[in-house]
């Protein structure tokens, strides 16, 4: 039986109707995390989005095994999204972020 890979970093991102921001956010996030040279995961929590957010997240998940997607049936709010994400990771460092790209670029640059 294989032991699971130990993750050093887990980023939890609650999202609600963010279809246009997800792909650029994912690209930027993976650039930064890859540059840290540590095993990582990204957990997107879709908080009941009504736009194409679930489809975009599914496409990313299918192309990147480091990405987990948790989908909620309705909007429970950002705190609930973080709480759900809290139950998923197995990392040393958890990083919560807003999904807006402006904040991401300033806070995630190593």
Distance CA 27, CA 67 (A): 12
Average pLDDT, integer, range 20-42: 94
Distance CA 43, CA 4 (A): 17
User: Which residues are 13's β-sheet partners?
Assistant: 44
Give pLDDT, residue 11. Answer: 86
**Considering the entire predicted model, what is its pTM?**
0.70
Distance CA 94, CA 13 (A): 11
Give pLDDT, residue 83. Answer: 56
DSSP state of 46: E
Give pLDDT, residue 81. Answer: 52
Give pLDDT, residue 10. Answer: 83
Domain boundaries, the chain: 7-102
pLDDT at 100 over 50: no
CATH assignment of 7-102, among 3.40.50.720, 3.90.550.10, 1.10.3980.10, 3.10.20.30: 3.90.550.10
Distance CA 110, CA 108 (A): 6
């Amino acid at each position: 039986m294989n032991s699971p890979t130990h993750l050093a970093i887990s980023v939890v991102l609650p999202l609600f109707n963010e279809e246009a921001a997800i792909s650029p956010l994912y690209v930027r996030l993976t650039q930064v995390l890859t540059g840290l040279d540590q095993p990582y995961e990204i957990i997107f929590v879709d908080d009941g989005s009504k736009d194409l957010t679930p489809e975009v997240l599914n496409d990313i998940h299918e192309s990147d095994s480091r990405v987990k997607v948790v989908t909620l049936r309705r909007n429970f709010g950002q705190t609930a999204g973080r709480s759900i994400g809290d139950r998923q990771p197995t990392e040393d460092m958890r990083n919560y972020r807003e999904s807006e790209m402006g904040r991401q670029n300033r806070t995630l640059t190593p």
